[in-house]
Structure 1
Amino acid sequence: MSDVLKIPRRKLSDEVFDRLYAMLLNGEYVPGDLLPSERELMELFGVGRPAIREAMQDLERLGLVSIQHGQRPRVIAPTASEMLAQIDLTAMHMLSSSPQSLEHLKEARAFFELGMVARAARVASDTDIASLEAVLERQRAELNRDTGAFIKADMAFHSTIAEITGNPIFVAVSHAMLNWLAHFHATVLHWKGNEHITLEEHARILDAIRAHDEAAAIREMRSHLDRARNLYSLT
């Protein structure tokens, strides 16, 4: 019989992982709960200590449990940021090796940014607007001083808009996309001569949010992103 038809044998740790994961998925253990001890799990599943430890380490790498020396593993609530951090290296490799993927990322970022700025204009409080003003002032202070700090403040401006939406998934996705694009600042993003324009565009976006004008916020953000997109190139 052809080897293609053979079912590969699975490691015991994989079986243990599947069963523990099913327990978490079914709500048998919820965030904050302690899992059974190694000895209890060994007896429950009929396997040795190495299989339990390897499965538990896999759960920890996925951000599902916290393991402290000498203590039973504790179930934790995964966050969107932690989830996206797990694909960080893969995303960087994909973007570095595929110009088309970079274009897709720019398009996805624009989609999110336009939606987020509209919501920010709709819901921004006085405190939110003050936070955005402070970030813009910090960016303005770095003009002609520190390019790295200027770019960080630029990213913070967009991250703050995401935070104003009040949606942690928006915040996590925005932060991840900004970090992935920031990887290209040093090699393919040409900031020289564009700093003043960036500040003016950010100021107009801020004005629209302050006025709670969704249409203006979308228009100004679209103009800002359309110009910025042309600065990213792998050629």
Structure 2
Amino acid sequence: MGRRFDGKVALVAGGAGGIGGAVCRQLGGEGATVICADLSERRGAMVVDAVAAQGGAIEFLRLDAADPRDWDAAIAHAAAAHGRLDVLVTSFYSGAAGAVDTMTDEGWEASFRATSTGVFLGMSRAFRLLGQGGAVVNVASLAAHRPTGENIGYASAKAAVISMGRAAAIRGAPRGIRVNTVTPGAIDTRALHATMKALAAQSDSGAEVDMGARAPLGRVGRPEEVAAAICFLASPEAAYITGAELIVDGGMAVL
């Protein structure tokens, strides 16, 4: 594999998660200095160890994506420690499952707290440091296009991520900053399994849906497959792509 990110600094918010961790590993393997930012220090340490074991440069930074002060500190750290920021990846969510007639007002607000507000906070701060050639890749969800009745908050918040990415792409283009979105379908992560259990509990049947059987390709995706799409959009190979959405879902969106 080539080293498309030699000399680049990348901040991966949600870097201790299934998709975020895979992004950290690929960016580190391709030469980037990676800042793995997350709330989970335990899982973050595992990602750091994995990237370091393959010879990559990586550090962990605690980040609550819903806290503007944490974002201020994260961007200030990138500037002070590395003098630059070339790539921002946002891969996180907040809130619980719920339907229009069961979700509380507090649950609705929690759904947006990190899932969409955190993405805005991250982009707004990163735009202070990103320069010509900078790239932002936000992770949305196929739920934004194909929600179920039991996940109104999550689906709505992820739809906002897609829209704000397009708006940010327009703003960033004159400065040479690209902003794109990767929209995964069912990906084999800890978060997917937790979500499936929560949605089953909200449904009338109480049964979990076999997401892999629903995809035309006949399986759920792997985090590494989403990471490959994210790293492509963050790389110089995608220099003429901005404001785009790349769906990585095994074909579910076409059904």
| TM-score above 0.5 | no
Q: TM-score with structure 2 length normalisation?
A: 0.26
Structure exhibiting the larger radius of gyration computed from Cα positions:
1
- What TM-score, normalized by structure 1, do the two folds share? 0.28
